[in-house]
Amino acid sequence: MEVVMGEKKAFQTDKAAITGGPYSQAIIYNGLIYISGQGPINTQTNQVLLGTIEEESELALENIRIIVEEAGSSLNKVLQVRVYLLDIKEYSRFNEVYKKYFQKDPPARTCIEAGKLPFGIRVEIDAIACI
């Protein structure tokens, strides 16, 4: 994908979960990719899969990985991640999955208890990466 500095471009790949709302899967701008919140959505069926925090986190992070790679980047170039948990008591269990994806020089991160998330999911994650 050609990136033109100063030009905002919507990015979409059908290899990751397709957004159902009025927003882009990701936006590319000035060499950065801003990835919309990703939840536990199966990339094959585009259906929400409710499960344990580990299962849901794995799916959300897999969607982020796919989007980043399809845009021509990698998880090593993720700069910031924001994590929204339904229950902050699952923080440690979430971290066990997260560490598998960001082993060396992990990105800056914010993690909050969101209270309620769409469709009854336990986790939603958004990210910013350089391309």
Summarised one tens digit per residue, pLDDT across range 98-111 is 999 999 999 999 99
Neighbours of 45 (CB within 10 A): 9
**Contact (Cβ atoms closer than 8 angstroms) between residue 28 and residue 128:** no
Per DSSP bridges, beta strands 108-113 and 78-85 are parallel
Q: Is 71 left (phi over 0), alpha (psi -120 to 50) or beta?
A: alpha
Could you tell me the pTM of the whole model?
Answer: 0.93
Type of residue at 116: K
pLDDT tens figures, 22-59: 899 999 999 999 999 999 999 888 899 999 999 999 99
Q: Which two tokens stand for residue 15?
A: 């290899």
CATH architecture of 9-130: 2-Layer Sandwich (3.30)
